[in-house]
Chains A and B, each alone.
Chain A
């Protein structure tokens, strides 16, 4: 067999593509589903924590900072394994899907809180004072005046971080969540051929290349508007 034939036979074997395409497609939608859930929960929780931190209660802020630092320092796979293997023995049963969603949401919340908080602190003090002097309360000032300005500034770093954490849905394969990578590795071991892995890689490219390009576009666009 020539080198090219060997390559095609190993990574793009036709009958294997046909046999395992439905599995990969199924995984594709599981990945999208978990990703969307993680993005919504993580960003909402992160924003909530940043707003809470703005009230400046010392004890609450300390707890938030500890939470954020911990999830910035711990590898997500470590947290996934602790929850997945540890909790059942204490009587709390969470499915692998829920563990993956929970852990990635917490990780994203930690990074998002840090970014939103940086945005809130970067709004000039005069904006606060002006809003308060027109008679708005603290909460109203935060929601109507400070957050809209803060969130705009956070969009580029937030997009990049969200993409990076969403890609971690592949960790689900370790605890058996049937997402793309899981389907691909299972199919590869059944087929004895690397074609499903290549299909999985291509599925990720289809999903994330547009997102990466969008992220870069957002970065340049918002940087330009700020200048």
Chain B
């Protein structure tokens, strides 16, 4: 029991590594602040293309969505970070993460928005058009607000996944929360820093998960 406490909940080590962890947390938050809006915007673009009235556009975007939903995000990240330099594209760790996550998240958010757009009855669009709104105006003012409301729990759920996904950036040595924790672990030979990181993730995401459970129940009920 003592060994367990010493190995996973060593308060001294946690206090000692706290400043490093805070810096890591800052990077994680910065990553989220960039990656989440990028994904939301990219996803919206993907959804609008994949519900386009032109078949050629829909067909062109479908393989993009399938490919980036099929490749594990870590594979994509390592491909961008370790593969592209061979072709002459040197990217910083941060740029690699931003690009890999943009591709992956656009595909995921895109599918969610698409489900939302398809859940809006066609009569809504027809009614909006018949009042004189243009196609663009109809999409922005009538279809999208309803679509987003219908899939709000899925959007929240995916956003939680994206925050968790930022921990993958540690693999390409971007100094975010998990990377700082793992660094501290390798110096102290003790897993407590990673447990501390886990506690920080829990503090950030547990409220979101609770909120999500309630959202899901409200939409279902």
Binding site for B on A (CB under 8 A): 6-7, 10-11, 69-70, 72-79, 81-82, 85-86, 89-91, 114, 118, 122, 164, 167-171, 173-174, 180-181, 185, 188, 193-194, 197-198, 200-201, 204-205, 207-209, 211-213
Contact = CB atoms under 8 A, between A and B. Distances in A.
Interface residues of B: mostly helix, strand, loop or mixed? Answer: helix
B7 A209 contact: no
Contacts, number: 141
B88 to A, nearest CB: 7
B120 interface: no
Nearest to A181: B75
Contacts of A78: 167, 178, 181, 194, 197-198, 201
Contacts of B166: 75
B78 interface: yes
Interface of chain A, main secondary structure:
helix
B65 to A, nearest CB: 9
A118 B220 contact: yes
Nearest to B197: A78
Given A167-B72, A204-B72, A205-B71, A73 B185 contact: no
A77 B170 contact: yes
B1 to A, nearest CB: 10
Contacts of B76: 201
B191 A170 contact: no
Contacts of A75: 164-167, 178, 201
A170 B168 CA distance: 11
Given A173-B74, A212-B69, A85 B82 contact: no
B210 interface: yes
Contacts of A6: 87-88
Nearest to B163: A75
B62 to A, nearest CB: 10
A186 B78 CA distance: 12
A117 B118 CA distance: 27
Given A11-B83, A89-B3, A82 B8 contact: yes
Given A73-B208, A122-B220, A79 B72 contact: no
